[in-house]
Amino acid sequence: MNNLHRFANPARFQRLSRALLPWCATATAILLAMGIYTALFASPADYQQGETVRIMYVHVPSAWMALLCYSTIAVVSAVAIVWRHPLADIAAKAAAPIGASFTLITLATGSLWGKPIWGTWWVWDARLTSVVILLFLYLGHIALTNAFDDPTRGARTAAILALVGAVNIPIIHFSVDWWNTLHQPASVSRLAVPAMDPSMLRPLLVMTLAFMAYFLTLWLIRIRAEIALHKLRVLRIAHAHTMEATTMAGN
Protein backbone atom coordinates (compact mmCIF):
# COMPACT_ATOMS: atom_id res chain seq x y z
CA MET A 1 0.00 0.00 0.00
CA ASN A 2 2.95 2.34 0.58
CA ASN A 3 3.92 1.87 -3.07
CA LEU A 4 0.37 2.81 -4.06
CA HIS A 5 0.50 6.01 -2.03
CA ARG A 6 3.73 6.99 -3.77
CA PHE A 7 1.59 7.93 -6.77
CA ALA A 8 -0.97 9.82 -4.69
CA ASN A 9 1.01 12.99 -5.36
CA PRO A 10 -0.47 14.51 -8.54
CA ALA A 11 2.88 15.96 -9.59
CA ARG A 12 4.52 12.51 -9.35
CA PHE A 13 1.68 10.96 -11.32
CA GLN A 14 1.93 13.68 -13.98
CA ARG A 15 5.63 12.91 -14.46
CA LEU A 16 4.98 9.18 -14.71
CA SER A 17 2.04 9.55 -17.11
CA ARG A 18 4.01 11.98 -19.28
CA ALA A 19 6.68 9.30 -19.71
CA LEU A 20 4.15 6.51 -20.37
CA LEU A 21 1.86 8.31 -22.82
CA PRO A 22 4.13 8.22 -25.91
CA TRP A 23 4.73 4.49 -25.42
CA CYS A 24 1.02 3.79 -24.96
CA ALA A 25 0.03 5.86 -27.98
CA THR A 26 2.69 4.19 -30.14
CA ALA A 27 1.60 0.72 -29.01
CA THR A 28 -2.00 1.63 -29.79
CA ALA A 29 -1.17 2.75 -33.33
CA ILE A 30 1.00 -0.29 -34.11
CA LEU A 31 -1.36 -2.87 -32.61
CA LEU A 32 -4.43 -1.27 -34.20
CA ALA A 33 -2.79 -1.26 -37.65
CA MET A 34 -1.76 -4.91 -37.23
CA GLY A 35 -5.20 -5.86 -35.92
CA ILE A 36 -7.12 -4.15 -38.73
CA TYR A 37 -4.91 -5.73 -41.38
CA THR A 38 -5.10 -9.25 -39.95
CA ALA A 39 -8.84 -8.96 -39.23
CA LEU A 40 -9.82 -7.64 -42.67
CA PHE A 41 -7.29 -9.25 -44.98
CA ALA A 42 -5.26 -12.03 -43.33
CA SER A 43 -8.05 -13.90 -41.54
CA PRO A 44 -10.50 -16.09 -43.48
CA ALA A 45 -14.25 -15.73 -43.67
CA ASP A 46 -16.24 -18.10 -41.49
CA TYR A 47 -17.76 -21.13 -43.23
CA GLN A 48 -21.18 -20.37 -41.69
CA GLN A 49 -21.18 -16.61 -41.01
CA GLY A 50 -19.17 -15.56 -44.06
CA GLU A 51 -17.72 -12.03 -44.00
CA THR A 52 -20.08 -11.11 -41.15
CA VAL A 53 -17.66 -12.78 -38.75
CA ARG A 54 -15.30 -9.79 -39.10
CA ILE A 55 -17.64 -7.80 -36.83
CA MET A 56 -16.31 -10.08 -34.09
CA TYR A 57 -12.93 -8.35 -34.20
CA VAL A 58 -14.54 -5.16 -32.90
CA HIS A 59 -17.48 -6.58 -30.95
CA VAL A 60 -15.60 -9.05 -28.74
CA PRO A 61 -12.69 -6.75 -27.74
CA SER A 62 -15.20 -3.95 -27.03
CA ALA A 63 -17.21 -6.29 -24.78
CA TRP A 64 -14.09 -7.37 -22.92
CA MET A 65 -13.00 -3.75 -22.49
CA ALA A 66 -16.46 -2.75 -21.23
CA LEU A 67 -16.08 -5.33 -18.46
CA LEU A 68 -12.44 -4.42 -17.80
CA CYS A 69 -13.22 -0.69 -17.54
CA TYR A 70 -16.01 -1.26 -15.04
CA SER A 71 -13.84 -3.65 -13.02
CA THR A 72 -11.16 -0.96 -12.97
CA ILE A 73 -13.68 1.62 -11.75
CA ALA A 74 -14.85 -0.75 -9.01
CA VAL A 75 -11.28 -1.39 -7.83
CA VAL A 76 -10.26 2.27 -7.73
CA SER A 77 -13.58 3.12 -6.06
CA ALA A 78 -12.80 0.62 -3.30
CA VAL A 79 -9.36 2.21 -2.92
CA ALA A 80 -10.99 5.65 -2.72
CA ILE A 81 -13.45 4.57 -0.01
CA VAL A 82 -11.09 2.48 2.10
CA TRP A 83 -7.76 4.30 1.79
CA ARG A 84 -8.92 7.75 0.62
CA HIS A 85 -6.36 7.68 -2.19
CA PRO A 86 -6.36 11.20 -3.69
CA LEU A 87 -6.21 10.06 -7.32
CA ALA A 88 -8.62 7.13 -7.05
CA ASP A 89 -11.79 9.20 -7.48
CA ILE A 90 -10.22 11.04 -10.40
CA ALA A 91 -9.22 7.73 -12.02
CA ALA A 92 -12.77 6.39 -11.67
CA LYS A 93 -14.28 9.56 -13.12
CA ALA A 94 -11.84 9.45 -16.05
CA ALA A 95 -12.54 5.79 -16.86
CA ALA A 96 -16.36 5.94 -16.82
CA PRO A 97 -16.97 7.69 -20.20
CA ILE A 98 -14.43 5.40 -21.89
CA GLY A 99 -16.16 2.31 -20.51
CA ALA A 100 -19.57 3.65 -21.54
CA SER A 101 -18.26 4.15 -25.09
CA PHE A 102 -16.97 0.57 -25.25
CA THR A 103 -20.35 -0.65 -24.01
CA LEU A 104 -22.20 1.33 -26.69
CA ILE A 105 -19.89 -0.12 -29.35
CA THR A 106 -20.56 -3.60 -27.94
CA LEU A 107 -24.33 -3.15 -28.19
CA ALA A 108 -24.20 -1.58 -31.67
CA THR A 109 -21.88 -4.19 -33.18
CA GLY A 110 -23.81 -6.95 -31.43
CA SER A 111 -26.99 -5.80 -33.16
CA LEU A 112 -25.21 -5.66 -36.53
CA TRP A 113 -23.87 -9.15 -35.93
CA GLY A 114 -27.15 -10.51 -34.60
CA LYS A 115 -29.35 -9.51 -37.54
CA PRO A 116 -27.81 -11.87 -40.15
CA ILE A 117 -27.02 -14.61 -37.62
CA TRP A 118 -30.11 -14.63 -35.38
CA GLY A 119 -32.53 -12.97 -37.77
CA THR A 120 -33.22 -10.09 -35.37
CA TRP A 121 -31.49 -6.87 -34.31
CA TRP A 122 -32.25 -7.38 -30.64
CA VAL A 123 -33.55 -9.93 -28.16
CA TRP A 124 -33.95 -9.50 -24.42
CA ASP A 125 -31.87 -12.50 -23.39
CA ALA A 126 -29.66 -12.63 -20.29
CA ARG A 127 -26.40 -11.51 -21.93
CA LEU A 128 -27.83 -8.55 -23.84
CA THR A 129 -30.00 -7.39 -20.94
CA SER A 130 -27.10 -7.48 -18.47
CA VAL A 131 -24.94 -5.47 -20.89
CA VAL A 132 -27.69 -2.83 -21.16
CA ILE A 133 -27.70 -2.70 -17.34
CA LEU A 134 -23.93 -2.19 -17.50
CA LEU A 135 -24.45 0.80 -19.80
CA PHE A 136 -26.93 2.33 -17.34
CA LEU A 137 -24.45 1.76 -14.51
CA TYR A 138 -21.85 3.70 -16.46
CA LEU A 139 -24.31 6.51 -17.16
CA GLY A 140 -25.39 6.53 -13.52
CA HIS A 141 -21.77 6.78 -12.39
CA ILE A 142 -21.15 9.72 -14.73
CA ALA A 143 -24.36 11.46 -13.60
CA LEU A 144 -23.70 11.00 -9.88
CA THR A 145 -20.12 12.22 -10.19
CA ASN A 146 -21.38 15.53 -11.56
CA ALA A 147 -24.67 15.75 -9.62
CA PHE A 148 -23.38 17.56 -6.51
CA ASP A 149 -21.81 20.95 -5.93
CA ASP A 150 -19.33 19.22 -3.64
CA PRO A 151 -17.08 17.05 -5.89
CA THR A 152 -16.11 14.87 -2.93
CA ARG A 153 -19.71 13.96 -2.20
CA GLY A 154 -20.37 13.18 -5.85
CA ALA A 155 -17.29 10.99 -6.08
CA ARG A 156 -18.22 9.10 -2.92
CA THR A 157 -21.79 8.44 -4.13
CA ALA A 158 -20.54 7.29 -7.53
CA ALA A 159 -17.99 4.99 -5.84
CA ILE A 160 -20.75 3.29 -3.85
CA LEU A 161 -22.75 2.77 -7.06
CA ALA A 162 -19.68 1.29 -8.76
CA LEU A 163 -19.15 -1.22 -5.96
CA VAL A 164 -22.82 -2.23 -5.85
CA GLY A 165 -22.96 -2.52 -9.64
CA ALA A 166 -19.88 -4.76 -9.72
CA VAL A 167 -22.19 -7.72 -9.05
CA ASN A 168 -23.30 -7.36 -12.68
CA ILE A 169 -19.83 -8.27 -14.01
CA PRO A 170 -19.97 -12.02 -13.17
CA ILE A 171 -23.61 -12.06 -14.28
CA ILE A 172 -22.57 -10.82 -17.73
CA HIS A 173 -19.67 -13.25 -17.94
CA PHE A 174 -21.57 -16.37 -16.87
CA SER A 175 -25.00 -15.48 -18.28
CA VAL A 176 -24.58 -17.74 -21.31
CA ASP A 177 -23.78 -20.66 -18.98
CA TRP A 178 -26.45 -19.98 -16.36
CA TRP A 179 -29.38 -19.32 -18.71
CA ASN A 180 -30.56 -20.49 -22.12
CA THR A 181 -29.74 -17.57 -24.45
CA LEU A 182 -29.30 -16.92 -28.14
CA HIS A 183 -25.80 -15.64 -27.48
CA GLN A 184 -23.11 -18.18 -28.19
CA PRO A 185 -21.01 -19.52 -25.28
CA ALA A 186 -17.42 -18.46 -24.68
CA SER A 187 -15.03 -19.50 -27.44
CA VAL A 188 -11.78 -18.11 -25.99
CA SER A 189 -11.90 -18.09 -22.18
CA ARG A 190 -11.78 -21.83 -21.73
CA LEU A 191 -9.50 -24.02 -19.67
CA ALA A 192 -9.12 -26.33 -22.65
CA VAL A 193 -8.10 -25.37 -26.19
CA PRO A 194 -10.15 -22.37 -27.40
CA ALA A 195 -12.95 -23.33 -29.81
CA MET A 196 -11.61 -20.96 -32.47
CA ASP A 197 -9.20 -21.48 -35.33
CA PRO A 198 -5.78 -19.82 -34.75
CA SER A 199 -6.21 -17.84 -37.98
CA MET A 200 -9.13 -16.06 -36.31
CA LEU A 201 -7.88 -16.15 -32.74
CA ARG A 202 -4.64 -14.30 -33.49
CA PRO A 203 -6.23 -11.15 -34.98
CA LEU A 204 -8.83 -11.19 -32.22
CA LEU A 205 -6.11 -11.14 -29.56
CA VAL A 206 -4.17 -8.44 -31.43
CA MET A 207 -7.28 -6.25 -31.60
CA THR A 208 -7.87 -6.85 -27.90
CA LEU A 209 -4.35 -5.68 -27.07
CA ALA A 210 -4.89 -2.64 -29.31
CA PHE A 211 -8.10 -1.76 -27.47
CA MET A 212 -6.34 -2.19 -24.11
CA ALA A 213 -3.51 0.14 -25.18
CA TYR A 214 -6.11 2.60 -26.49
CA PHE A 215 -7.96 2.54 -23.17
CA LEU A 216 -4.76 3.11 -21.20
CA THR A 217 -3.81 6.01 -23.47
CA LEU A 218 -7.20 7.72 -23.15
CA TRP A 219 -7.34 6.99 -19.43
CA LEU A 220 -4.00 8.65 -18.76
CA ILE A 221 -4.97 11.65 -20.89
CA ARG A 222 -8.29 12.05 -19.07
CA ILE A 223 -6.69 11.70 -15.62
CA ARG A 224 -4.13 14.37 -16.53
CA ALA A 225 -6.95 16.63 -17.75
CA GLU A 226 -8.97 16.09 -14.54
CA ILE A 227 -5.92 16.95 -12.43
CA ALA A 228 -5.44 20.15 -14.45
CA LEU A 229 -9.12 21.05 -14.02
CA HIS A 230 -8.86 20.44 -10.27
CA LYS A 231 -5.86 22.77 -10.05
CA LEU A 232 -7.78 25.38 -12.05
CA ARG A 233 -10.77 25.15 -9.69
CA VAL A 234 -8.48 25.57 -6.67
CA LEU A 235 -6.86 28.63 -8.23
CA ARG A 236 -10.26 30.16 -9.02
CA ILE A 237 -11.48 29.61 -5.47
CA ALA A 238 -8.28 31.10 -4.06
CA HIS A 239 -8.59 34.09 -6.39
CA ALA A 240 -12.24 34.60 -5.39
CA HIS A 241 -11.31 34.52 -1.69
CA THR A 242 -8.50 37.00 -2.31
CA MET A 243 -10.80 39.38 -4.15
CA GLU A 244 -13.40 39.05 -1.40
CA ALA A 245 -10.81 39.78 1.29
CA THR A 246 -9.52 42.78 -0.69
CA THR A 247 -13.04 44.14 -1.09
CA MET A 248 -13.77 43.78 2.62
CA ALA A 249 -10.48 45.45 3.51
CA GLY A 250 -11.27 48.35 1.18
CA ASN A 251 -14.62 48.86 2.85
Phi-psi region of 33 (alpha: psi -120 to 50; beta: other; left: phi over 0): alpha
| Per-residue model confidence as pLDDT tens digits over 32-90 | 999 999 999 989 888 778 888 899 999 999 999 999 999 999 999 999 999 888 789 99
Rounded Cα distance, 20 and 15, in Å: 9
| Per-residue model confidence as pLDDT tens digits over 89-143 | 999 999 999 999 999 999 999 999 888 877 888 888 888 889 999 999 999 999 9
- Helix, strand, or coil (residue 197): coil
Residue type, 62: S
- Going by pLDDT thresholds of 50, 70 and 90, the confidence category of residue 183 is low
Per DSSP, 7 falls in state T
Rounded Cα distance, 44 and 112, in Å: 19
Element (H, E) at 66: helix 56-83
Q: Percentage of residues in the chain with pLDDT exceeding 90? A: 55
